[in-house]
Amino acid sequence: MNTQTLEQMKQLRLHGMIRAFNSSLSPQSTDYTNDEFIAYLIQCEWDDRQNRKVERLTKTARFRYSAVMENIDYNHDRNIDRNQIQRFATCDFVTQNDNILITGSTGAGKSYMASAIGHQACSLGFKTMYFNTSKLFTMLKTSKADGSYLKQVSKIEKQDLLILDDFGLKGLDNINRHSLMEIIEDRHGKKSTIIASQLPVEAWHEIIGEQTIADAILDRLVHTAHRIDIKGESMRKKLKNK
């Protein structure tokens, strides 16, 4: 009977229940009442599905770093507000469709922080995508050539959280400028975006170029944005010295 039950669970893809049921067959297993045992099986299945969902979301996001909020360095010279970052850990900013703009010098930890917030969003069930901004624009240009542009932009639009890293390393040409405008316009007031850049927000206007489009993009980005300006010595340099 147990073999048949396990086979039926397998066919129903109840992987969490299978492990829980096998565990209950061991001599050291806890004695449960009928309702306790049912609750135990359901809880194990629920936990298994949630864990697999988080793994799937994290894999799909394609983060640059395997980062966690607990490892963010709050050293006083870095100008990071611990309370602000801990509020981001709840991901209320995602449900409220707010943006986060992270700036700081090379190696300051911008990418790590953006990735840590993104990992946290995945753990709470939010669809997230991470992009190096230059690689994103290259991909979008290629998709225009092969006819998949609208599909790619639609996929980005559906993400609860979009992370654009290394923004502003070089100025935008006309094609990239309009692609960025389309992405930001589609997400404005509906989804959240994190942008990490070496340049202060005040310099983004020049990087985007073409005043009318730059004004429109920045108005949509900055209006509902939480801003973090990381100071201090390069984290990469510190790690290397250690």
Give the mean pLDDT per block of 10 residues along the chain (242 residues). 80 84 73 82 84 92 92 89 95 96 92 96 96 96 94 95 95 94 95 96 93 94 91 63 50
How far, in Å, CA of 173 to CA of 211, rounded?
Answer: 13
Tokens of 96: 């409220």
How far, in Å, CA of 11 to CA of 15, rounded?
Answer: 10
Query: What pLDDT is recorded for position 92?
Result: 96
Q: How far is CA 144 from the centre of its chain?
A: 25
Tokens of 236: 């990469």
3-state DSSP assignment of residue 84: helix
Query: What's the whole-model pTM score?
Result: 0.82
Tokens of 47: 């936990």
Query: What pLDDT is recorded for position 27?
Result: 65
How far, in Å, CA of 154 to CA of 139, rounded?
Answer: 14
Query: What pLDDT is recorded for position 189?
Result: 93
Alpha helices, H only, 147-241: 149-157, 174-187, 204-208, 211-222, 235-241
3-state DSSP assignment of residue 238: helix
Query: What pLDDT is recorded for position 240?
Result: 53
Write the burial class of residue 7 (CB in 10 Å: 0-12 exposed, 13-18 middle, 19+ buried): exposed
How far, in Å, CA of 130 to CA of 62, rounded?
Answer: 6
- Per-residue DSSP letters for 100-114? EEEEESTTSSHHHHH
Query: What pLDDT is recorded for position 85?
Result: 95
Nearest Cα neighbor of 19 from 51, 41, 52, 1 is 41
Query: What pLDDT is recorded for position 236?
Result: 56
3-state DSSP assignment of residue 129: strand
Query: What pLDDT is recorded for position 163?
Result: 98
